[in-house]
Amino acid sequence: MNVKEMEQAFRDYVRTILHYQETVALIDWDLHTGAPKKGRSQRAEVLGTMAEKAFEMMTSPRMKEFLDALSDPGVEIQLTPVTRKTLAYYKKEYERNHKIPADRYREFTVVTSKAGQVWEEAKEKDEFSLFQPYLQQVVDFQKEFLQYWGYKQHPYDTLLDHYEPDMTVEILDRVFGELREDLVRLLNEIQESPHKPRTDFIFQKFDKHGQEAFHYVVLKAMGYDFEAGRLDETIHPFATDLNPWDVRITTKYDEYDFRTSVFGTIHEGGHALYEQNISPNLAGTPLHKGTSMGIHESQSLFWENIVARNRHFWTYFYPHLKQYSPQQFEGVSPDEFYLGINVVQPSLIRIEADELTYALHVMVRYEIEKGLITDEIRVGDLPGIWNDLMNEYLGVRPPTDREGVLQDVHWSAGDFGYFPSYALGYIYSAQLKYAMDKDLPNFNDLLSEGDLHPIRRWLTDNVHQYGRLKKPAEILMDTTGEEINSFYLVDYLKKKYREVYKL
């Protein structure tokens, strides 16, 4: 085989892996939207077969042959840059997966599967002690795996890198530290404000078909391509890129709180726009994918918060929204509406948090994960530590573990290192906005006119199109001229909330 043939064989092999992954994504979408109840457990087995097959192909001797042969310097130099990046991607995946002995990995999947079930039960019964031994095993596995994987500075860096390439504890400690101080100060100011936005109109009945009709208006204005996607209902909203031309959104409806689906849909729409606007020339490779969890989250949060919680956005869209539930908004001025949807209230549950307090929830988890990995925190002490941190950061103390340490599924699945991405998304999005302002000084006017295309185009030009070609830090540097910096998020939040709360 000459180099061209070898390259082609590798690309074909990769395409088949992607076919399996597309299958997994479709099955998963179906399971979460309309798959009939009784057929689901059988379908889950099929999903397992397909996911295993994709994993097998990524870790197979055949893959190893490709990686070795194509990494030969004399060969690699002849590959197209896309193939080289694809090669690098699979090399990293291969090494990550191969360093763990197969029997230990199998054992880990058994433990997490069991831990997931027990977590559900523990949460329902509000009994952390049930979950504790399983969480201990999951944490022990993380530490064991870290020995195989190795690390440079801090063991947690390696976990972070899985979700946010090149992110480190050193960076996060600094950035989160600064951010936390500023957020807590701002939050305290707000809580002392005598001004409390009116929110009564939020909790009135808004027919879900009306909400859905509004979503179509907004998503189209955002530039979401319905010929390359669709919107469905689900319990836990998500966006999923089945393939470059099929990026679906799901949303959850609450007929007595339209915010759930309105902001949820825009959030998922932001994820979907990212995937819909990656360069089509990367299709058929793993590079056609958002570059990290944090950058992905920066896109969803940009649309959800920076665009859709902006006063000017509603100048245009509030009249549209009203059409679908006229009674509800009768006598609610645009100003009242804007203030109402931006109410800040420290709460116990992360996924219900507002844009100001959300990052604080994440930091609680970050500190705990770090501590567990370095043995500075013991699993048995978690409920107390959790509650203390919540009190310290947010000024609220969970009355139950169900509303505290047991609220998230992530740890039972062994997803350590994931949580920080959420907060990174907030920070990145504000940095991107600062850079965007230079190119689109008329940002607010665009919103007022409902003309969102220049915004979407800017994000495509600066972020979307590259897919995995650029790492998160490169995106940031190329776009904003600097490294991660929480100043912009704080500045954005201060300006906004000092106005909302008349501070």
Residue 13 or 316 with smaller CB distance to a copy of itself: 13
Q: How far is the CB of 234 from a copy of itself (least distance, A)?
A: 14
The helix or strand, by DSSP H or E, that contains position 361, with its residue range, turns out to be helix 358-373
Task: Answer yes or no whether residue 44 interacts with a copy of itself by CB under 8 A.
Answer: no
- For residue 236, is it left (φ>0), alpha (ψ between -120 and 50) or beta? beta
Number of residues that bind a copy of itself (CB under 8 A): 34
235 near a copy of itself (CB under 8 A):
no
Q: Examine the residue annotation and report whether 268 is marked as an active-site residue of this protein.
A: yes
> Which of the 8 DSSP states describes residue 470?
S
Residue 102: exposure state from Cβ atoms within 10 A (0-12, 13-18, ≥19): exposed
Q: Are strands 246-251 and 231-233 parallel, antiparallel or unpaired?
A: parallel
Q: Does 212 bind a copy of itself (CB under 8 A)?
A: no
Question: Among residues 227 and 375, whose Cβ is nearest to a copy of itself?
Answer: 227
**Residue 50: exposure state from Cβ atoms within 10 A (0-12, 13-18, ≥19):** buried
Residue 242 as a binder of a copy of itself (CB under 8 A): the answer is: yes
Encode 277-338 in three state secondary structure: CCCHHHCCCCCCCCCCHHHHHHHHHHHHHHHCCCHHHHHHHHHHHHHCCCCCCCCCCHHHHH
Candidates 268, 275, 369, 403; catalytic one: 268
Report in angstroms how near the CB of residue 467 gets to a copy of itself at its nearest: 16
Residue window 430-449: x/- pattern of binding to a copy of itself, with contact defined by CB under 8 A: --------------------
Q: Amino acid identity, residue 253?
A: Y
Query: Does the footprint of a copy of itself cover residue 9 (CB under 8 A)?
Result: no
Query: Which span (79-87, 181-189, 220-228, 430-438) binds a copy of itself, by CB under 8 A?
Result: 220-228
Residue 3 in the binding site for a copy of itself (CB under 8 A): no
Q: Give the whole-angstrom CA distance, residue 345 versus residue 363.
A: 17
Q: Tell me which residue has tokens 């009994």.
A: 127
Q: Could you say whether residue 216 binds a copy of itself (CB under 8 A)? A: no
Q: Per CB under 8 A, does 34 bind a copy of itself?
A: yes
C-beta closer to a copy of itself: residue 203 or 226 = 226
Question: Which C-beta is closer to a copy of itself: that of 276 or that of 486?
Answer: 276
Binder to a copy of itself among 3, 11, 13, 26 (CB under 8 A)?
26
Which residues from 260-299 bind a copy of itself, rule CB under 8 A?
Answer: 283
Closest CA to 429 of 501, 495, 489: 489
In which residue are the tokens 């609680």 written? 364
Contacting a copy of itself (CB under 8 A), which of 4, 8, 45, 439?
45
Nearer to a copy of itself among residue 38 and residue 152 (C-beta): 38
Rounded to whole angstroms, the Cα distance separating 286 from 271 reads 17
Could you tell me if 156 and 169 are in contact, meaning their C-beta atoms sit under 8 angstroms apart? yes
DSSP per residue over 19-38, as a string?
HHHHHHHHHHHHHHTT--GG
171, two tokens? 């960076």
Q: For the CB of residue 246, give the shortest distance to a copy of itself in the complex, in Å.
A: 3
- Nearer Cβ to a copy of itself (228/409): 228
Selected from 227, 330, 331, 438, the binder of a copy of itself by CB under 8 A is 227
Q: Given the rule CB under 8 A, which residues bind a copy of itself?
A: 16, 19-20, 22-23, 26-27, 30, 34-40, 42-43, 45-46, 49-50, 225-230, 242-246, 248, 283
- Catalytic positions, written as ranges: 268
